[in-house]
C-alpha cells in the first residue's frame, strides 16, 4: 500500500518524533523529582542511554513507546506501508532492548521499564499509582520492574 503523504511530508512528520525528553518521560521525571528522587538523564556511559539513572539505588528506568519497542498492547499495530522496512526497524529495536537489558543486569544494576500504555490510552494507570510503584521498586531490592497499562 503506498504512503498517503509525500516523502517530504513523511520526513517532516518523522523528524518531529523525539527519542528523548518525550512528554511521557518528562511527566515521570517531574513526578519522581517531586517525591525526592534525584537522577541523571540519558547517561552516555550506560548501555542504551537510560532515560533515568539512579546511582543511589543502583537502578535505571526506561520509558518505552509501545510502537517503537513492539509492546503487546492496543497502542501497537504494524504499519501497513513499507512493511518490510518497519518490521526490520522495530524487531531490531526489540533485539537491542534485550541486549541492553542483559548488559545492565550483568553489570549489577537494576532495570525498570515504564510502557507508554501505562501513561496514555484506554488502559492507562493513574500517575500516582505509577509513581508509587516506582518508589516502592527503587526503595526495594527487586532486579526488574515493568509497568504497563491494565
Alpha-carbon dihedral angle through residues 132, 120, 58, 44, given to the nearest 10 degrees = -150
pLDDT at 23 > cutoff 70: yes
- Nearest of 88, 114, 93, 105 to residue 47 by alpha carbon: 105
**Model confidence over 79-119: pLDDT tens digits?**
988 899 999 999 999 999 999 999 999 999 999 999 999 99
pLDDT at 4 > cutoff 90: no
pTM: 0.87
| Contact of 114 with 62, CB cutoff 8 Å | yes
In what order do the strands lie in the sheet containing 52-54?
A: 52-54, 59-64, 110-115, 144-147
pLDDT of residue 22: 87
pLDDT at 20 > cutoff 70: no
The arrangement of secondary structure in 19-147, i.e. its CATH architecture, is 3-Layer(aba) Sandwich (3.40)
Domain boundaries, given as residue ranges, for the chain: 19-147
pLDDT at 6 > cutoff 80: no
Amino acid at each position: 500500500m503506498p504512503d498517503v503523504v509525500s516523502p517530504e511530508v513523511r520526513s517532516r512528520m518523522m523528524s518531529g518524533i523525539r527519542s528523548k525528553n518525550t512528554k511521557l518521560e518528562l511527566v515521570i521525571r517531574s513526578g519522581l523529582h517531586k517525591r525526592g528522587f534525584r537522577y541523571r538523564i540519558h547517561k552516555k556511559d550506560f548501555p542504551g542511554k537510560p532515560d533515568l539513572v539512579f546511582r543511589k539505588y543502583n537502578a535505571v528506568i526506561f520509558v518505552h513507546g509501545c510502537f517503537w519497542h513492539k509492546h503487546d498492547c492496543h497502542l501497537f499495530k504494524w504499519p501497513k506501508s513499507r512493511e518490510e522496512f518497519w518490521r526490520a526497524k522495530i524487531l531490531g529495536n526489540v533485539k537491542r532492548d534485550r541486549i541492553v537489558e542483559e548488559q545492565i543486569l550483568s553489570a549489577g544494576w537494576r532495570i525498570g521499564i515504564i510502557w507508554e500504555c501505562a501513561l496514555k490510552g484506554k488502559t492507562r494507570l493513574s500517575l500516582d499509582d505509577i509513581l508509587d510503584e516506582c518508589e516502592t521498586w527503587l526503595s526495594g531490592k527487586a532486579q526488574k520492574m515493568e509497568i504497563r497499562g491494565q
